Structure formats: C-alpha cells, structure tokens
C-alpha cells in the first residue's frame, strides 16, 4: 500500500507536520478542462498531471499540493482550439494569478521547495510568469523558495519515443488526444477511456500560423490532433516509468 501524498486528502495537522522541517518538496499539478475527443474525459490534463505528480512524490518523499484544474486557452495547433465545446479556456491573467498566489501561500506556510508539474501544453509560459511575479513579491521578505517548472512529457526519453512510435513521432504539440495521453489514461483511469469511440485519423497537418477568427475546418472533427488507436495500458506503464524516473532525478538533483 502506498502512503498518502496529496495534501487535499490530508488533515491540516498532518500537513503541518510534513512541512515543519522546511525541507519538504511540494509538487503542484497544473492541468485544464479540455476536450480530448470522443474517447477521453474533459479532465484528462488535470488527472494525468496529478497522477504523475503523486507517483513522483511517492518516489522521492515529496507531497502534492492542490491541482490547478483550469488552464490557458486551448490553441488550434496544440489542443484543437478554444472554439470546441467542452473546452474551458481561461485568460492568461487568471492562470498567472493562481500560480502567483500558490507560490506566496506555500512560502507563507514555510515551504521552501516547489515544483509546478504542467499537464496542458498551453499553460507553460503563464505558469512561468506567475512564478516570476511571486518571486519578485517575496524578494524583499528574505530568502524565498526555490521553484522548478516542468512539463511531464518532456521526460519521455528518446529511446521510449522510438519504441512507442515506430512509424514516426508526430511531436508533442499534435499529441493532443493521441498515444501518450490515451495510453496513460488506459493505465491509470481505464474506466474513463472508451476505445470503441476513438476516431482514427492521421496526425493533423496544421499551418505554421494562427488565424483570427479561428477556421474550425482546420481542426480534425475528432478534436484530437493525432490518433490514439495504437494506445495500450502497457505503453502507459512504459511512459509513466520514463516520466517519473526523469522527474524524480531532476527534482532530487536541483531542489
């Protein structure tokens, strides 16, 4: 049996004890509520960023903070687009403000080591801005926390990519709803994946620019940018092992 690492399932006294030394590492998952085709739930990004955070925390003796459930607007070239019903896109200042507040709040609690684990492609720069602003806020109050930002898919090694994508890797930007996310969901949340509803099609060929207003015809009808047909739970296990090992090594080595 694994021990509880997510503070949202802990009482306040247990949480206080865990961070009392000042040396605790807190991982903050960052997701979104976004369509992932007909075969996966809207909460895929928040669920996977939380699961990867919890698995990593168990490995390195860290804890996991509350998941940031809503993310920045889905973009057509990396998430199908914010025009698709089922996607909830928040403005940049909202995402920035949430991240800024969480850094300040954890610092107020006495946490000195924070990791944001991104699970939604479009979030990264706004998480970065929130952290940067928080560090400025705290600069005059003494020594602030150390903060790391990462996107979990960046820890899938080239060897794993070559093994799982024998016909060629389409790139993380068009992997929305594809093999990685579907395989991880099959491994950890199989009851929420409906493979019989998956729409199979080639990876989307999108232009090298963005248009306003959005041209919906450029997004595949599935809402996904590549096919998840080749997904399996076994691939999910292989992906998770690479991700968790890489994240654990990075966090332990730098924080």
Active site residues: 34, 36, 45, 120, 122, 176, 181
Residue 216 · residue 130 · CB < 8 Å: no
Residue 117: count of CB within 10 angstroms of its CB: 31
Measuring CA to CA, how many Å separate 36 from each of 39, 107, 212?
7, 35, 23
For tokens 């969480």, the residue is 102
Closest to 228 in 3D by CA, of 197, 200, 206: 200
Q: Is 199 exposed, middle or buried (0-12, 13-18, 19+ CB in 10 A)?
A: middle
State the Cα–Cα distance between residues 13 and 115, nearest whole angstrom. Answer: 22
């Amino acid at each position: 049996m694994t021990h509880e690492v997510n503070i949202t399932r802990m009482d306040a006294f247990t949480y206080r004890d865990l961070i009392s030394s000042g040396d605790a590492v807190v991982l903050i998952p960052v997701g979104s509520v976004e369509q992932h085709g007909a075969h996966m739930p809207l909460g895929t990004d928040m669920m996977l960023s939380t699961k990867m955070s919890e698995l990593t925390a168990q490995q390195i003796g860290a804890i996991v903070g509350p998941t940031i459930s809503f993310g920045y607007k889905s973009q057509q070239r990396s998430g199908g687009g914010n025009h698709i019903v089922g996607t909830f896109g928040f403005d940049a200042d909202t995402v920035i403000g949430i991240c800024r507040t969480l850094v300040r709040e954890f610092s107020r609690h006495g946490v000195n080591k924070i990791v944001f684990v991104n699970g939604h492609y479009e979030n990264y720069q706004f998480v970065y801005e929130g952290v940067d602003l928080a560090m400025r806020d705290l600069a005059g109050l003494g020594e602030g926390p150390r903060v790391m930002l990462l996107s979990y898919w960046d820890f899938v090694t080239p060897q794993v990519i070559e093994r799982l994508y024998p016909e060629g890797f389409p790139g993380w930007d068009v992997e929305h709803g594809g093999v990685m996310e579907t395989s991880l969901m099959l491994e950890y949340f199989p009851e929420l994946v409906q493979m019989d509803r998956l729409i199979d099609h080639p990876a989307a060929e999108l232009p090298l620019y963005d248009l306003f207003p959005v041209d919906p015809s450029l997004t595949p009808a599935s809402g996904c940018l590549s096919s998840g047909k080749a997904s399996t739970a076994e691939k999910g296990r292989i992906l998770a092992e690479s991700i968790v090992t890489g994240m654990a090594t990075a966090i332990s080595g730098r924080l």
